[in-house]
């Protein structure tokens, strides 16, 4: 029986990548040791981190105006780190579209003033507030958005354009490299790796170099300055070598299937299969506004909490794992990141049809 992992993160990785990592796990390039055992200063690891950076630059079309960094602590560390480096006691604009954007705003408020330009909290984050309703500050240090909301199942289908003089920053943890976007619209993006880029343990940060120069280094600890990572190639201290190695393999894989444009087409097809079923079901329902539905995290419910639990249990017995919704909202959730094959989504829909017939 095929097993399809719909976990929100850490999430499934491409089978071809896992098999290559398995083959190299104890004997990387015939050196007699695994990649996790090798010095980050040695001649074998440097090409790995160099390839990871080069792949990211190629896939996202990143110019030399930006630094590509690999930082421990996940996206949650970036909530505070970006404010420590860029806010300098000023005002930052935040769009509140879910649990993680709210956490980001809360952390930033420790280092300056946070202006919530818009929020969908009152309706349980079931939509992205229309940009025409946003109330931006006149002299914001930056505007922060969360491009995809894993808990609520919403996503900016059209990413905002920046206001002149106000750099836009995005937490792209759950949809990084899932669709084409223009990096030049952003002053900085960041993403925890454990959705589309690899295992947990590293965050990818892409930051315009002139923004990194804003930091008052007398007030920010060494390991929390972007300049430290820029000046030392993300290796001021020992980096998360295995996570970076896996990121290199996954970006190799993504390049091999045609890059971000190719995976976007596949992701659109997967999401359409699942949402088309939900829209025609009289049993399963999606609570998310159609215009803002995530193509990465599809949230849905049955008619009752008891049936939700039964669905998750029976799905697991049929090889469809980790479909339980986030603990804060309940229900069900299918995360269909880059690594999820179309066959997995089709298998899920077929099971949903059977479950619906059996429980009406």
Can you tell me the distance from the alpha carbon of 339 to that of 17, in angstroms, rounded to the nearest whole number? 10
Q: Does an H or E element contain 118, and which?
A: strand 113-119
For residue 22, how many other CB atoms are within 10 A of its CB? 9
Catalytic residue among 195, 292, 322, 324: 195
Instruction: Tell me, yes or no, if 354 is annotated catalytic.
Output: no
100 assigned to active site: yes
| Rg, Å, the chain Cα set | 21
DSSP state of 68: E
The CA distance from 46 to 48, in Å, is 5
In sequence order, the β-bridge partners of residue 67 are 207
Written as one string, the DSSP assignment of 151-216 is TTTEE-SSPPPPPTT--EEEE-TTTTTSS---GGG-SEEEEETTTTTSSTT-EEEEEEHHHHTT--
Residues 213, 50: contact at Cβ < 8 Å? no
The reply to whether 65 belongs to the active site is no
Annotated catalytic residue, options 171, 175, 292, 322:
171
| SS3 at position 288 | coil
Helix, strand, coil distribution of the chain in percent, nearest 5: 40, 15, 45
The catalytically annotated residue of 100, 253, 270, 308 is 100
Q: Which residues are catalytic?
A: 100, 171, 195
């Amino acid at each position: 029986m095929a097993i399809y992992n719909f976990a929100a993160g850490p999430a499934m990785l491409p089978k071809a990548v896992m098999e290559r990592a398995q083959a190299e796990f104890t004997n990387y390039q015939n050196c007699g040791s695994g990649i996790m055992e090798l010095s980050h200063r040695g001649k074998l690891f440097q090409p790995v981190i160099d390839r990871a950076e080069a792949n990211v630059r190629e896939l996202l079309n990143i110019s030399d105006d930006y630094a590509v960094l690999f930082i421990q602590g996940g996206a949650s560390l970036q909530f505070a780190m970006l404010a420590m480096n860029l806010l300098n006691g000023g005002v930052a604009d935040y769009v509140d579209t879910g649990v993680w954007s709210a956490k980001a705003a809360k952390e930033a408020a420790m280092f300056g003033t946070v202006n919530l330009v818009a929020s969908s909290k009152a309706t349980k984050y079931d939509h992205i507030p229309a940009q025409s309703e946003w109330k931006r500050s006149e002299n914001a240090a930056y505007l922060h958005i969360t491009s995809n909301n894993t808990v609520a199942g919403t996503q900016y289908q059209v990413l905002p354009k920046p206001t002149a003089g106000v750099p836009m920053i995005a937490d792209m943890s759950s949809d990084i490299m899932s669709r084409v976007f223009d990096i030049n619209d952003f002053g900085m993006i960041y993403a925890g790796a454990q959705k589309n880029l690899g295992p947990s343990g590293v965050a990818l940060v892409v930051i315009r170099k002139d923004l990194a120069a804003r930091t008052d280094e007398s007030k920010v600890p060494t390991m929390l300055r972007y300049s430290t990572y820029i000046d030392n190639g993300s290796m001021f201290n020992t980096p998360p070598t295995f996570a970076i190695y896996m990121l290199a393999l996954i970006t190799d894989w993504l390049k091999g299937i045609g890059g971000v444009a190719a995976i976007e087409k596949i992701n659109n097809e997967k999401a359409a299969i699942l949402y088309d079923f939900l829209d025609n079901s009289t049993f399963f329902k999606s609570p998310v506004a159609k215009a803002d539905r995530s193509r990465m995290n599809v949230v849905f419910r049955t008619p009752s909490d008891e049936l939700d639990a039964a669905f998750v249990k029976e799905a697991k017995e049929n090889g469809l794992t980790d479909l339980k919704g986030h603990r804060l909202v309940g229900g069900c959730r299918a995360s269909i990141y880059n690594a999820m094959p179309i066959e997995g989504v089709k298998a899920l829909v077929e099971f949903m049809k059977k479950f619906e017939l059996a429980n009406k």
